[in-house]
A and B are shown apart, each in its own frame.
Chain A
Amino acid sequence: AQRVTQPEKLLSVFKGAPVELKCNYSYSGSPELFWYVQYSRQRLQLLLRHISRESIKGFTADLNKGETSFHLKKPFAQEEDSAMYYCALFHTGGGNKLTFGTGTQLKVEL
């Protein structure tokens, strides 16, 4: 069965420090992965998708099929990065839908 694991509930870093939010997945098919972000008092929104190989707000994520991982990284954390981050897997088994991880709260301290 498909599964998305985010092992950290909370990640606290200092401003300017590197950030890595971990995401591991389990899926028998060809995975399509996303990172969604929820800033305080805002809607959940797409941050980036692996298929686009894009960098958004300084964040990147590389799909590593060997390690079944899709970690989100940023070299220098900013205060405005503080938010809840969800990793999500799109799968077609049993219908076209997303499975979300449990989320990681990122707190960037001054």
Chain B
Amino acid sequence: DGGITQSPKYLFRKEGQNVTLSCEQNLNHDAMYWYRQDPGQGLRLIYYSQIVNDFQKGDIAEGYSVSREKKESFPLTVTSAQKNPTAFYLCASSIRVTAGDSYEQYFGPGTRLTVT
């Protein structure tokens, strides 16, 4: 079964704890992305990676960290420094990194994180 997988579907943590969200793809895509989806705010980019061992901050990177040690994996850690971590997190990937008529991002099913 090909595509992007995210685990777990639901995650509950206590305030002050770091938590890592998993994102795996077997599409052989070069680029991977992490978004946060909040009601009324759309999707906001947290981090993205266009190639293994390289990643860039998105628009709301504070309180988050990532790694890209393998092409198929792009885990996101939500640290205790993130002030409002409760949200729905979406991972995506794309085969291309540049614009063009084949550019498309493929999304995972998401992880809903609740921090209390």
Contacts and interface: CB of A to CB of B under 8 A. Distances in A.
A95 B94 CA distance: 14
B109 A43 contact: yes
Given A9-B40, A86-B42, A97-B33, A92 B99 contact: yes
Interface string B22-35: 00000000010101
Interface size bracket, B side: 20 to 34
A46 B102 CA distance: 11
B48 A45 contact: no
Nearest to A31: B99
B42 A100 contact: yes
Contact of A90 (B40, B43, B92, B103): B103
Interface of A is mostly: mixed
Interface size bracket, A side: 20 to 34
A90 B104 contact: no
Contacts of A44: 43, 90, 92, 107
Contacts of A51: 100-101
Nearest to B45: A97
Given A95-B48, A102-B40, A52 B101 contact: yes
A89 B99 CA distance: 10
Interface in B75-116: 90, 92, 97-101, 103-110
Contacts of B41: 102
B107 to A, nearest CB: 4
A46 B107 CA distance: 9
Contacts of B44: 100
Contacts of B110: 43
20 contacts: A6-B42, A9-B40, A43-B108, A43-B109, A43-B110, A44-B43, A44-B92, A45-B106, A46-B104, A52-B101, A86-B43, A90-B103, A92-B98, A98-B45, A100-B35, A100-B43, A100-B44, A101-B42, A102-B41, A102-B42
